[in-house]
Amino acid sequence: MALTVNGAPVPVPTDPRVSLLDLLRERLDLTGTKKGCNQGACGACTVLLDGERVLSCLTLAVQADGRSVTTIEGLVEGAMHPLQQAFIEHDGFQCGYCTPGQICSAVAMVEEWRRGSPSNVTQDLADSAIELTHDELRERMSGNLCRCGAHNGIVDAIVATYVTEGAR
């Protein structure tokens, strides 16, 4: 039994209670993924599982068997990810603890939006080209809490990276 973490094969731990989050943090020393609640409420632990955003605290490591995990460390390949750069430019973080989760979440959120997945605030569910409006973007990021209040900067960074450049 094995999964792939940032491209490298990793054996599934023998203790079935181990969450994907604790596997990353406590056993693989990939501490970029944060634990804010361990209850699925804060989004700090967001990682990409086969490209989809998941809360790694609510995912057992065994569930990731045979699948591919990308963490914040894996998003950096040589140079910084453009979104990471934008977070710095737009002051999208203060303490930085929610930041890896915000970034992983945003990367997958943009993919969801690009393929036309609606959100809770989408008016027309049949619309094939949903606009990433003020509310659409914020709703889709609302699972990632930030207590320092860096929300404006986070949204600005996402907009600058994906929206104004007409990335769609």
Closest-CA residue to 99 (of 111, 87, 85): 87
Binding part of the chain for ligand FES, among 6-14, 67-75, 88-96, 117-125 by CB under 6 A, reads 88-96
Contact between 144 and another protein per CB under 8 A: yes
By CB under 8 A, residue 100 contacts another protein? yes
What single-letter DSSP state applies at residue 2? E
Residue 30 binding partner per list another protein, ligand FES, none, with a CB distance cut-off of 5 to 8 Å that depends on partner kind? another protein
Told to check if 41 binds ligand FES by CB under 6 A, we report yes
CA pair distance 117, 129, nearest whole angstrom: 9
Q: Please state the closest distance from residue 131 (CB atom) to another protein, in A.
A: 16
Residue 138, interface with another protein (CB under 8 A)? yes
- Identify whether the C-beta of residue 56 lies closer than 8 Å to the C-beta of residue 43: no
Which listed residue (47, 60, 109, 150) binds ligand FES by CB under 6 A?
Answer: 150
d(CA 90, CA 157): 6
Instruction: Please report which helix (H) or strand (E) contains residue 60, including its range.
Output: none
CA distance linking residue 49 with residue 134, whole number of Å: 27
Instruction: Check if the beta carbon of residue 49 is closer than 8 Å to that of residue 59.
Output: yes
Single out the residue of 7, 40, 51, 66 in contact with ligand FES (rule: CB under 6 A).
Answer: 40
| Cα distance between residue 33 and residue 15, in whole Å | 21
Asked if 41 interacts with another protein (CB under 8 A), we say yes
According to the binding rule CB under 6 A, does residue 88 interact with ligand FES?
no
Write out the residues near another protein by the rule CB under 8 A: 15, 17-18, 22, 25-26, 29-42, 44, 71-73, 76, 80, 84, 87-88, 91, 93-100, 121, 135, 137-139, 141-155
